Amino acid sequence: MKHSVKGRKLNRTASHRSALLRNLATSLLKHKRIRTTVAKAKELRTFVEPLLTKAIVGDLHNKKLVMDSIKDKEVVKELFSSIVTTLGERKGGYTRVVKLGRRLGDGAEVAIIELVDYNEVANQKAVENKEKKEAKGEAKKAKAATKGEIEDAKVVEETAKEKK
């Protein structure tokens, strides 16, 4: 049975797996977007998001905890200076995994994992979708208001006819 077993082994020993996740996390924070397999991307998400949460808190203890996982000092500086300010007040969901299909060589499922606030195309689409929804909602309200006004006008006409 597989009760309470968290994480993927990725066919690696524990030390190899931790080194892989540290290297993937460093690459993700350095380049803001990396291409890897779906299993590695999903596992990396569970590794990176707590680090980003600790970076947002930003005190010395959390900085040292992040530095235990990420060995590249330049990436840590960038994380605590620019990435944290970009993430802002986001309470979670700092990364996005987008599946791309299968790799030609071995047929492995490939995905892109990226930091959410750094993808301009996706952010622009989200803003456009939000504007469309708001416009649609306003149109519904206007339509409902006109329906209500028409019904009110009919009631007024009927009462006027009855009085005559």
Residue burial 78-102, b: 16+ Cβ < 10 Å; e: rest: ebbeebeeebeeeeeebbbeeeeee
Give the pLDDT of residue 120: 76
- Comparing CA positions, the residue from 103, 97, 81, 92 lying closest to residue 28 is 97
For the chain, give every domain's residue range. Answer: 14-116, 119-164
**Do the beta carbons of residue 70 and residue 25 sit within 8 Å?**
yes
Handedness of CA 144, 148, 153, 155 (dihedral sign): positive
CA distances from 97 to 69, 76, 138, 161 (A): 21, 22, 33, 65
Top-tier CATH class for 14-116: alpha beta
Give the pLDDT of residue 1: 85
CB atoms near residue 49 (< 10 Å): 14
Mean pLDDT of the chain: 88
| Dihedral pair phi/psi, residue 106, rounded to 5° | -125, 0
Give the pLDDT of residue 38: 97
Give the pLDDT of residue 111: 97
Phi/psi-derived region of residue 101, left when phi > 0, alpha when psi is between -120 and 50, beta in every other case: left
Q: Which residues of the chain have pLDDT under 70?
A: 141, 144-150, 153, 164
CB atoms near residue 43 (< 10 Å): 21
With H, G, I as helix, E, B as strand and everything else as coil, classify residue 48: helix
